[in-house]
Amino acid sequence: MNQWITVCDEDDLYLDAGACALVNGHQIALFLCSHNNTLYAINNYDPIGKANVLSRGIVGSLNGTVVVASPLYKQHFCLESGQCLESAEMLVPTYPVRRFNGSIQVQLIVSLIR
């Protein structure tokens, strides 16, 4: 069974800014986007810059796709699929995330959508 893990309170997240949570040894970047008031959770590791920095990226929208721009080399990663818009072969894992009784919870099921 896949367990939901509480990582923070809803009040700990700010609109259009990332936060990083360490969940069972995995760095998870969390985003609450004002564009659609949706939560997203992706791996914090930027495979191009080779550093755990995606939670510090800039959140925005490109052609209707909600993205985070890596603070290192500015590649855009889709927050829904984890796909890099500039390099199709690059993908970061995404995770199920939800609000529950005032908390933010994630599951460590990795979703790799191409």
Provide the pLDDT for residue 113.
Answer: 52
Cβ atoms of 57 and 66 within 8 Å: the answer is: no
Beta-bridge partners for 65: 62
pLDDT digits (tens, 9 = 90+) for 49-77: 999 999 999 999 999 999 999 999 999 99
Q: Quick check: helix, strand or coil at residue 72?
A: coil
Q: Whole-model pTM?
A: 0.91
Q: Categorize the per-residue pLDDT at 110 as very low, low, confident or very high, splitting at 50, 70 and 90.
A: low
pLDDT digits (tens, 9 = 90+) for 14-57: 999 999 999 999 999 999 999 788 999 999 999 999 999 999 99
